[in-house]
Structure 1
Amino acid sequence: MALYAIDDLDDAWDATREFLTPLSIRRLSVLAGIVFFVGGSGSSVPGGSGGTRGTTGLDPAPGAEIAAARRFLLENLVTIGLLVGAVLLIGLAFLLAGSVMEFVFVQSLRTDEVRFWGYARRYFDEGLRLFGFRVALGIASLLSIAAIAGSALLVAGAAPTVGLGGLLLAIAAFAIAVVLLVVTVVDAFTTAFVVPVMLVRNSGVLAAWRAFWRTLVRTWKQYLAYAIAAVILNVAAGIVFTILLAVVALALVIPLAVVVGATALLAPETVLLAVAVVLGLPFVLVLVVAALLIQVPIQTYLRYYALFVLGDTDATLDPIAEVRGAVRSADDGSTAL
């Protein structure tokens, strides 16, 4: 039995090459905008807190710290609530935009026509359904994790021995890891396979999942092989992305370092600070643009790879029948020559 996860590696590369050539600034810029939402981005800013000491040099009592923290929360409850609400709304808005862009991206790959606003308007309803599914999946996973962790803490606290309590906590940690793995696989398969099925069948998320589920169960070995290959490809893509972005950053840092160094020797600190800010903002902007442009061929290849596997396992769900035929007919022609 042929493994499509292996056979489709070359076909996905050929399709990616045909899709991205000849190079077009407009196409690359639009794809970069799509990838910004599809690829996702996230950052965490680690925060720290420092305690203040009294004139005696002794730390305040723990009770005083807790009382001070409680008083701070009560006094700034509205501000904290507004900040949390704003962050939540921004996150949900980004998730909604990303859900819509999933359909924009796949449809662009299907038709070889890259349209941002046109496809976004056409598939907004489908994106809204995907958004709702993702929110529900996230809520279900959070509730499951909270239930497991809460139950484990209660039971472990009442355990007669420390060893038994530790064992219960270890079991709970394993259960949480299983939940996270299942949620990750469901979300990844929804993006890679259910979204194109929704386009092919013009259906909702659950109906598309039911249609795909039959194929998944019938050809589970193919999708297991795909999952393993996809993990390896993502790791390799991450390494390539990091190297290329590092090269771009190094090419920018060298001339910037020369300018900043010369300014530090010849100008006062206020001028140095102004120069650093003026040069730093374009540096960050160029890095962001470079990161998106590097991600375009990577995400295109990974998505084509999933689409080829989907069509090979079930021709009735094939979202890129024309692309598949063109790529493989070209391969047959080159082989014959």
Structure 2
Amino acid sequence: MAWYALRAAGESVRATRVLLASASLAAWGRLAVLVPFVGTLVTPFLTDFNRGPSPVALVASATAPGLLTAALVAALALFVGAVFEFVFLDALRGRQIRLRSESRRHLRSGLELFALRVALAVPVGLALVAPIVIEGWLALLLPLAVVISALALDRLTVAFVVPIALVEACSLREAWRAFARTLRAAWHEYAAYLLVAATLWVAIALVGGLLGGLVAVALLVPFGILGVTIDAALSAQGLSGALVGRTVLTTLSIPYVLALLAAVSLVHVPLVTYLRYVALFVLGDVDERHDPIPRLRASIRRGTGTGRPGQ
């Protein structure tokens, strides 16, 4: 057994460096737009599950229009993310990043991936409510098994089937048929990939969370100085201190959050890029005919690693 995933974990570092070192500031900006939709990283500092009502309580207390709006927004984000999966992969293969034109080009393929994810979400949703009607150990085991299976199918689709669909210019269904043949022949390599990818995901998510927290603190300094300056200027005009404080906080909170999200997205660009390259290297090693990055692979293995992925 070659265990291609272990070798890919090292080679993907150099591949990420090759892509991003030659990327312009505009390309970095476009990648930062793509990453929140295609990234699977969790930034822990953005989430505090110990405060506020639980998600179940929020759903129970939500109104019908609120639930409908939330469902529509989630569906739109899921669809955009499905289209961006193809755009992001094109970027990793060295194509110039044009968000609008590339999104239009991959609209049909994105719709297919969106439909697959909706189909996977249905059994997951049913499994999550299973504990209401099922008792005993099955109430815990069934949701866990369904969620893990759905996540594995989604990860295999994004990591391997989407690249095959791009290389072959075929539908997602045809790409799955082609992938199924290599999956049966080298199932152990893909199982090893899932294990390595899960381990890397946990490690990188922690790193991303730490870096995101540092960015949040760093951004507080200029925004804090700006807030104090504005507060002092308005207070000097004889305005109420409490009113000024609330106004300044409300006014600066929105740009602070936007700046934080933009900075966190930039931080996650190399992290998400690295994880995706791991899958591309594994796919090319297992199935050379569907290798999405043959030139980059050859360059890195020759020891040069200086050319862009598409060169």
Query: TM-score, length-normalised on structure 2?
Result: 0.83
Contact 1:248 1:290 in 2 (8 A): yes
Q: CA deviation at 1:122?
A: 0.8
Q: 1:246 to 1:142 in 2, by over 3 A?
A: closer
Q: CA deviation at 1:2?
A: 2.3
Kindly indicate whether residue 39 of structure 2 is the aligned counterpart of residue 39 of structure 1. yes
Matches within 5 A, 1:19-30: 19-30=19-30
Contact 2:124 2:143 in 1 (8 A): no
187, 202, 208: which one pairs with 1:235? 202
**AA at the equivalent of 1:174:** L
Q: Distance in 1 between matches of 2:305 and 2:81?
A: 37
Aligned to 1:158: none
Computing the radius of gyration over CA atoms, which structure comes out larger, 1 or 2? Answer: 1
Aligned to 2:251: 278
Q: Distance in 1 between matches of 2:209 and 2:305?
A: 35
Q: 1:150 to 1:240 in 2, by over 3 A?
A: closer
Contact 1:99 1:127 in 2 (8 A): yes
Q: Secondary structure at the match of 2:97?
A: coil
Contact 1:307 1:319 in 2 (8 A): yes
Q: Secondary structure at the match of 2:170?
A: coil
Q: Distance in 2 between matches of 1:90 and 1:209?
A: 28
Q: Distance in 2 between matches of 1:95 and 1:212?
A: 24
Aligned to 2:57: none
Kindly indicate whether residue 182 of structure 2 is the aligned counterpart of residue 209 of structure 1. no
300, 303, 317: which one pairs with 2:273? 300
Q: CA deviation at 1:326?
A: 2.1
Q: Distance in 2 between matches of 1:259 and 1:100?
A: 39
More displaced stretch, 22-31 vs 37-46 = 37-46
> What is the aligned-residue RMSD (CA, Å)?
2.7
Q: Distance in 1 between matches of 2:218 and 2:128?
A: 45
Q: Distance in 2 between matches of 1:151 and 1:87?
A: 26
Kindly indicate whether residue 14 of structure 2 is the aligned counterpart of residue 4 of structure 1. no
Contact 1:108 1:115 in 2 (8 A): no
Q: CA deviation at 1:23?
A: 4.4
Q: Secondary structure at the match of 1:282?
A: helix
Q: CA deviation at 1:287?
A: 0.7
Aligned to 1:138: 121
Matches within 5 A, 1:1-337: 1-39=1-39, 46-47=52-53, 80-143=63-126, 146=129, 148-149=130-131, 152=134, 169-257=136-224, 263=231, 267=235, 268-331=241-304
Q: Distance in 2 between matches of 1:22 and 1:246?
A: 27
Q: Distance in 2 between matches of 1:332 and 1:284?
A: 37
Q: Distance in 1 between matches of 2:211 and 2:7?
A: 27
What percent of counterpart residues are identical? 36
Q: CA deviation at 1:261?
A: 6.1
Q: Distance in 2 between matches of 1:27 and 1:196?
A: 21
Q: Per-residue displacement from partner, 1:245-293 (whole Å, max 9, x unpaired)?
A: 22222222235445656748x9411111112222222221111000110
Q: Which has the higher contact order (CA 8 A, sep 6+)?
A: 2
Aligned pair count reads: 288
Q: CA deviation at 1:149?
A: 4.3
Q: Per-residue displacement from partner, 1:98-154 (whole Å, max 9, x unpaired)?
A: 0000000111111342221121111110001111111111113334555x54662xx
- Unaligned runs of at least 5 residues, structure 2: 55-60, 236-240, 307-311
- Unaligned runs of at least 5 residues, structure 1: 49-72, 74-78, 153-167
Query: TM-score, length-normalised on structure 1?
Result: 0.77
Q: Distance in 1 between matches of 2:305 and 2:36?
A: 36
